[in-house]
């Protein structure tokens, strides 16, 4: 197959309805970069329809959709068929939603190739009752080796690891911006993100900015209680420019996700990639993550940052103190972090892996 026309199908667009997450950003940025290579559309859903052009990418937002069982990330809209008819490849960015399954069935019926990446979450879908639905897809494009493993794709010949990327011109260091004694967390404020451990670990002499919207009232109240007497700022409304400035100012970016949160709830898949780690590293900022899920695939312990045990504020505090007390080493790790992103986590590299998979080539990753 040469010269594909590609539709990326995403349940929601980045920033819509108060969403602030790697999954929504992933679909948008991949589609935008792919549009520089082949004709590409991003089709998504919202209560109000719209259409816009971002660079070479056509973004089509269909609405208002039917939300299956009221689930906001499980939309269905009949106009999807028209956009499938335009494409010869459809890339779904959520596997366990009814809209994705219906799109896959439509592709099979009309002779189009269809692929899926699981970006986390999901909703009601017939695949829960009909396991054979997985055979509708020509390929599974997993965003990390961990994602491939938890999806039981290690021995699946249709599976490839494509990873994720970042716009390395937009997310980049700025020598004119001085580093501050600052730690940054970016993402949803949810218990499985382990943000409570980060607040508890914050040592004297450092500030912490928590960039992201709260989605759990009890957890937010607990975070504010833990933050009393510490230099912790909650920033719920940040755009990309604000986020990049924060990364550039910070000594490190931290993603402390856990399998078991403070309330005893287990999360089997707390992270499928760790997009904000990549963004911060692209800005020349070293990263700290827990030894959980996919994140050790991104952060090289001792080289581009540190990997620490989950649910261990003392271990987290120790590495934060190292950054505080040795800013030269932090800067050296930040340089290495930027280089690691350039070598492994750019959107053009992800596009190349996707196009190879669309052509039936399996990644050796």
pLDDT at 23: 62
pLDDT at 7: 98
Is pLDDT of 20 > 90? no
Contacts of 271 (CB under 8 A, 6+ apart): 146, 255, 257, 292, 293, 294, 295
Q: pLDDT of 123-152, one tens digit each?
A: 999 988 998 999 999 999 999 999 999 999
Reply yes or no: is the peptide bond before residue 269 cis, omega within 30 of 0: no
pLDDT at 1: 47
Arithmetic mean of pLDDT over the chain: 93
Q: Tell me how far apart the alpha carbons of residues 117 and 210 are, in angstroms, rounded to a whole number.
A: 28
Cα end-to-end span (Å), the chain: 22
Of 192, 174, 237, the C-alpha closest to 210 is 237
In whole angstroms, how far apart are CA 161 and each of 38, 121, 154? Answer: 21, 19, 10
pLDDT at 2: 55
- Once rounded to an integer, what is the mean pLDDT over residues 156-165? 96
Q: Tell me how far apart the alpha carbons of residues 254 and 308 are, in angstroms, rounded to a whole number.
A: 11
Q: Tell me how far apart the alpha carbons of residues 174 and 334 are, in angstroms, rounded to a whole number.
A: 12
Q: What length does the chain have?
A: 365
Say if residues 293 and 270 touch (Cβ distance below 8 Å): yes
Say if residues 281 and 302 touch (Cβ distance below 8 Å): no
């Amino acid at each position: 197959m040469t010269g594909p026309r590609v539709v990326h199908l995403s349940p929601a667009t980045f920033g819509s309805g108060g969403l602030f997450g790697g999954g929504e950003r992933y679909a948008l940025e991949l589609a935008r970069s792919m549009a520089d290579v082949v004709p590409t559309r991003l089709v998504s859903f919202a209560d109000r329809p719209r259409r816009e052009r971002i660079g070479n990418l056509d973004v089509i937002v269909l609405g208002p959709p039917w939300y299956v069982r009221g689930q906001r990330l499980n939309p269905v809209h009949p106009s999807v068929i028209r956009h499938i008819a335009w494409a010869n490849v459809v890339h779904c960015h959520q596997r366990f939603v009814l809209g994705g399954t219906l799109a896959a069935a439509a592709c099979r019926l009309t002779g189009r190739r269809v692929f899926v990446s699981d970006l986390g979450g999901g909703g009601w879908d017939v695949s829960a009752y009909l396991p054979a639905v997985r055979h509708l897809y020509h390929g599974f494009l997993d965003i990390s080796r961990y994602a491939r493993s938890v999806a039981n794709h290690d021995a699946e010949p249709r599976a490839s690891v494509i990873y994720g990327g970042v716009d390395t011109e937009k997310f980049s260091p700025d020598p004119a911006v001085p580093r501050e004694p600052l730690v940054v967390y970016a993402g949803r404020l949810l218990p499985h993100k382990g943000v409570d451990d980060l607040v508890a670990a914050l040592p004297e002499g450092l500030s912490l900015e928590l960039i992201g919207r709260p989605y759990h009232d009890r957890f937010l109240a607990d975070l504010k209680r833990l933050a009393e007497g510490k230099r912790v700022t909650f920033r719920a409304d940040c755009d990309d420019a604000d986020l990049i400035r924060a990364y550039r100012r910070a000594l490190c970016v931290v993603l402390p996700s856990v399998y078991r949160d403070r309330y005893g709830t287990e999360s089997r898949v707390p992270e499928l990639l760790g997009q904000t780690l990549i963004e911060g590293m692209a800005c020349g900022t070293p990263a700290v993550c827990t030894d959980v899920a996919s994140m050790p695939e991104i952060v090289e312990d001792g080289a581009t940052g540190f990997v620490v045990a989950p649910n261990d504020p003392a271990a987290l505090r120790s590495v934060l103190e190292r950054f505080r007390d040795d800013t030269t080493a932090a800067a050296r790790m930040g340089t290495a972090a930027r280089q690691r992103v350039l070598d492994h986590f750019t959107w053009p590299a992800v596009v190349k892996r996707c196009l190879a998979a669309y052509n039936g080539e399996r990644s050796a990753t």
